[in-house]
Chain A
Amino acid sequence: MQNVILRNISKRYTISHEKRVLSKVILFGWLKRKKQEALWALKGVNFEANRGEVIGIIGENGSGKTTLLKILSGVTAPSLGSVNLDGKVSPLLELGAGFHPDLTGRENIYLNGSLLGLSRQEINQKFKEIVAFSGLEEFIDAPLKNYSSGMFLRLGFSVAMHASADILLIDEVLSVGDEVFQRECINKIKEFKDSGKTIIFVSHNLDMVLNICDKVFLLQHGHILKSGNPADVVRFYLDTVGKKGVAVLQKGPLDIIFSEGRLSLYWQGRQITKGLGGFTAVFSSKRWHISTQAEWDIRSKDQNKLVVEGKWLRLPVKQTWELDVSKDGSLCWQVNTEVQQRGLCGQEQLNLMLSDGYQEWFVDNRREKFPQIQSNNIMWDDLLPEGSIAKAAGIDTDEAGEKRLPAICFAPLEDAPDNTMKVFNSDFQNNARVLQCLNSNFNNTQGSFKIQVSFGLPNISKHIETIFNNKMQEILSCEDQLNCVLEKKELKVFWNKKELPEGHPLVRSFIKGKLELMRRQAEEERLRQEEEKKEKILLRTLQNDNLRFVCWEGKMRLFWDNAEITKGIGLYSALYNAERWFLSSEIEWQVQKTKEKMLLRGEYEYLPIGQEWEIKIEPPGSFLVKVDLLVKEEINIQQGAVGLMLSDKYIKWFSGKKQGDFLRVFGRQWADILNNDYEDIVVGVAAVLESSLPQVDLYWNHKDKNNFIRASNTDFLYSARVIQLLRYEPREKSRFSPGRYPYFSFSICIKS
């Protein structure tokens, strides 16, 4: 139940620069009044408290805390607004106020008690209790001037606590006094709270505020800047403490707090920065000088934009930060650096230290996980390779749900060739992720960063890559200004006809861009060829359900469910001439394909013979193959063969009548296992049960004793199984005169 309600409270103080003198007023009248300056100690403050609540009020000195208490107590009246108090307010602002040093403790208890509205009788009743709580029994009749400050405070607190108020006000107490007494005070305050009284408490002691308050109000320049849960408000306050260099920008879920050279970012009330947060640094005389060491002034501030200026105390360096929050909630952070002396600073950097809840980083087209920060790590770990020039960086988390940190993209709005992005793991104490923009070639008197920080992008990786691509394009498009010449084995780079020194970032950038471009072109070419090849292969493919026949680069191959079952040269024919086998894989084939049929035609290079293959789909799971010889000149062929070289995962062979296992080992020579069997018309292989390979048969319908079947192991080079059909020509028939001869006709059957 609310018992304290303040509405729209404003308090104006007038500051007159002259002493107010009655005689002047009498002599010159009211007409000649000088203009007075108004100072608003409080502006439109709304404040409320419930019974049984401990309310904390925090804020810098001069933020209006005490004025608020004064208004609550009635010590002064507000200039505007209404005060509604239900119950008796303790009128005491300060412990021990009204104590007189010349009076004894006892006399002061009575005096102070009556100031707090207690009657003599009430004081008499409570006197023992008051003295006991203060623990000053021995000193109660000594004058107060002989008390220590701690004793003074004990007595003050004790009297205040025993004044029967419903609303207790305490201004900046408990900072003095020993720990035991502080604990007693806290207990007493809790007792009060439990008895349904309201305690309003102003303090700089944030620990205590966190400890005992139910609700905290943060005052700044007479406004309530934030109120609510003590932990949230205190953290917010800690980020905004400072004398003059503090300002807050708020937009949607984003809160940006600038505080004396550093930025803290909050997303949906949750802090996403760590350590110093956003800060800059310049490098001079062998060390980094951080922006928090500068003296900051707020130049201008409106709802969306903040301009601050900082002067380094020990360096002739000045920086202006422009912080601009755009409509889409991204922050544009522009930093202009002015150095009085050329070459004083070698480098400058801009950093964003972020929560270690981020696990993934992105730079250009890279994407990686952050390594763990080791507990002995006292330096920052650069996660990018040395010398790399990155154009955009980002950070993301794999957490999900409400408390998810927003993905952050960190990219320059205007590209400066000297600037590069970096990603770090900080030292273990800060335990933070760092995104950095570094200018390692800062010799001029002026430098600038213009960084856009975007939050909560849905596809951060893609976003960064797009930025990177655009940047690369930009760099490469300045080719007409940039020339590379190879002179006496040295690469010289010219920018607008002026030679650039070796290692100039522009050169590195350009070369990197060039390499990237070449890499990309090569990649594109490879992809194009692959695509072409796929198309060509498609022209040389017969598909029979999940069985596929492909003729490619002289080899005829069989695939089952996309897995090749052939090996080595696959399906082949061979002709024996002049003590040597001529294999069909030597032939360049010309392919004609229809839906069910493929026609292959080709010629041997060293034999006057051509071959024509017809492969026809014969469902289910079969190909019917016909091989014709096209003899151009008379030639002697004693033997011919067709075979299938198959995967060595096949371990069994069979024919119509026999079956057996292949040898497990491969030797230097081919090893026949089933040899020259002329009675059978089928030869095949089968795999063991576990294997998914189908059974493969060759059917050859013949009634000739010169035809044989064979199953073999190849040599160790091929390491394959082979099933073959062979034909021997009788000596009188081994001469072929020009013409066309049907030579083989068989079918390949695959059974799963």
Chain B
Amino acid sequence: MTQISGIPRYLKNIFSYRELIFNLAAKDFKVRYKTAVLGFLWTLLNPLLMMLILSLVFSWIIKIDIEKYPVFLLAGLLPWYFFSFSLSSGTLSVVDNANLIKKIYFPREIILFSVVIANLINFLISLAILFIFMQAFKIHVTFLVLFLPGLIILECLFVLGISFIAATLHTFFRDTKYIIELMLLVGFYITPVFYPLSMVPEGVRSVYLANPMTCFIILYRDLLLYGKISSAAMIMYTIASSVIIFVFGLALFKKHQKIFADYV
């Protein structure tokens, strides 16, 4: 085990494990879908079904007044599901890979990287479906879509940061996953996923905006649906909070990963 000093060396070391990250992600994929008939289509089915139900509920029953509601909904659901799936499987990933962690040394971050990358691939595929829906609803893609990769990377950092914290906690406290699940459930409703921020009362809007996921969803919608640039403050806040959470999460994780093998 070489002592790592400095961020470049650390990154180099992680980079040298890139194949492991992809192999683990591929393993997850293969294992998950090898036994299922529909294969990876299952991954797409979930957000699509959700979109269908929510569209029905909010267009025909509650009659929310939003133009092209299914596309609006999908643009919020997909980033949320990326976050939600990554976090819930990331939380469990260290404990679930106990047999690896107890028997083999490798940088433990790799596990979380691979989890997020696996979910990212899902996310990217479902984004393709979103583009199809956009075509169907006659929404034109503007040049701003070039900023999409940057936004996705930013969300990855945020997701990783939160997952690092959750996975570390879960290694030591096994009830973390219940808390995370509860928070995700609540989060789904207090994040403007199926409604616009404009429907939120003015007074609590600033509290709403403190939630980075709110910002992410607004940024995605502005970028894809409305073709407009969000406020600089929001962009700065999103970048800052993501980077801070990522750095904090990674630092916490790295501090404790040495003894994970004793607890998993």
Chain A interface (Cβ within 8 Å of chain B)?
13, 19-23, 25, 70, 73-77, 83, 85, 89, 91-94, 97-98, 100, 102-103, 107, 110-111, 114-117, 119-120
Contact = CB atoms under 8 A, between A and B. Distances in A.
B31 A75 contact: no
B261 A75 contact: yes
B37 to A, nearest CB: 16
Contact of B27 (A23, A89, A103): A103
Interface string B153-180: 0000000000000000100111110010
Given A20-B174, A100-B31, A107-B30, A91 B106 contact: yes
B106 to A, nearest CB: 6
A23 B16 CA distance: 38
A22 B169 contact: yes
Given A85-B1, A102-B31, A21 B104 contact: no
Given A75-B261, A114-B19, A19 B174 contact: yes
Among all A-B residue pairs, the 3 with the closest Cβ atoms: A97-B103, A22-B173, A74-B1
B30 A25 contact: no
A119 B24 CA distance: 14
B138 to A, nearest CB: 44
A259 to B, nearest CB: 32
B99 A75 contact: no
A115 B258 CA distance: 17
A100 B100 CA distance: 10
Nearest to A92: B104
B99 A114 contact: no
A25 B172 CA distance: 11
A22 B179 contact: yes
B96 interface: no
A75 B23 CA distance: 20
A89 B1 contact: yes
B34 interface: yes
Contacts of B19: 114, 119-120
B262 interface: yes
A111 B24 contact: yes
Interface string B1-16: 1000000000000001
B101 interface: yes
Nearest to B178: A23
B103 A75 contact: yes
Contact of B104 (A75, A110, A120): A75
A561 to B, nearest CB: 92
A22 B176 contact: yes
B24 A117 contact: no
Most buried by B among A25, A83, A93, A115: A115
A115 B24 CA distance: 9
B179 A115 contact: no
A176 to B, nearest CB: 16
A529 B30 CA distance: 110
B241 to A, nearest CB: 22
A73 B105 contact: yes
For chain B, give the interface size range.
20 to 34
Interface in B70-110: 99-106
B262 A13 contact: yes
A389 B188 CA distance: 95
Interface in B93-149: 99-106
A745 B237 CA distance: 153
Nearest to A96: B103
Contacts of B260: 76
A98 B99 contact: yes
Given A21-B175, A89-B105, A94-B103, 20 more contacts: A20-B173, A22-B172, A22-B173, A23-B175, A75-B104, A76-B258, A83-B1, A91-B104, A91-B105, A91-B106, A97-B99, A97-B100, A100-B31, A103-B27, A103-B30, A107-B30, A111-B27, A114-B23, A115-B20, A119-B16
9 contacts: A20-B173, A70-B261, A73-B104, A75-B102, A76-B259, A97-B100, A97-B104, A115-B104, A119-B19
Contacts of B174: 19-21
Contacts of B169: 22
A170 to B, nearest CB: 12
Contacts of B175: 21-23
B168 to A, nearest CB: 11
Contact of A21 (B31, B173, B258): B173
Most buried by B among A75, A102, A110: A75
A92 B173 CA distance: 27
A19 B19 CA distance: 37
Contacts of A110: 23
A75 B105 contact: yes
A29 B261 CA distance: 26
Nearest to A94: B103
A396 to B, nearest CB: 55
A22 B169 CA distance: 8
B205 to A, nearest CB: 28
A114 B30 contact: no
Contacts of A20: 172-174
Contacts of A70: 102, 261
A37 to B, nearest CB: 14
B104 A102 contact: no
Interface in B19-55: 19-20, 23-24, 27, 30-31, 34-35
Given A74-B105, A93-B102, A103 B179 contact: no
B105 A77 contact: no
B104 A93 contact: yes
A371 to B, nearest CB: 59
Nearest to B30: A103
A77 B258 contact: yes
B150 to A, nearest CB: 29
Contacts of B24: 111
Given A21-B175, A22-B179, A103 B258 contact: no
A102 B179 CA distance: 31
B27 A100 contact: yes
Nearest to A115: B104
Contacts of A89: 1, 105
Contacts of A120: 19
A74 B259 CA distance: 10
B103 A98 contact: yes
A85 B2 CA distance: 9
Contacts of B23: 110-111, 114
A333 B175 CA distance: 57
A85 B35 CA distance: 43
A150 B262 CA distance: 29
B102 to A, nearest CB: 7
Contacts of A91: 104-106
Most buried by A among B23, B101, B169, B174: B23
B69 to A, nearest CB: 38
Contact of B262 (A19, A76, A102, A114): A76
B172 A115 contact: no
Contacts of B258: 76-77
B97 to A, nearest CB: 9
B256 to A, nearest CB: 10
A114 B20 contact: yes
Most buried by A among B99, B104, B259: B104
A116 B173 CA distance: 29
A25 B31 contact: no
A12 B1 CA distance: 20
A404 B103 CA distance: 48
Nearest to B173: A22
Contacts of B179: 22-23
A537 B24 CA distance: 112
B106 A115 contact: yes
Contacts of A25: 173
Nearest to A98: B100
A76 B101 CA distance: 9
Contacts of A92: 103-104
Contacts of B20: 114-115
Given A22-B179, A76-B258, A111-B23, A103 B104 contact: no
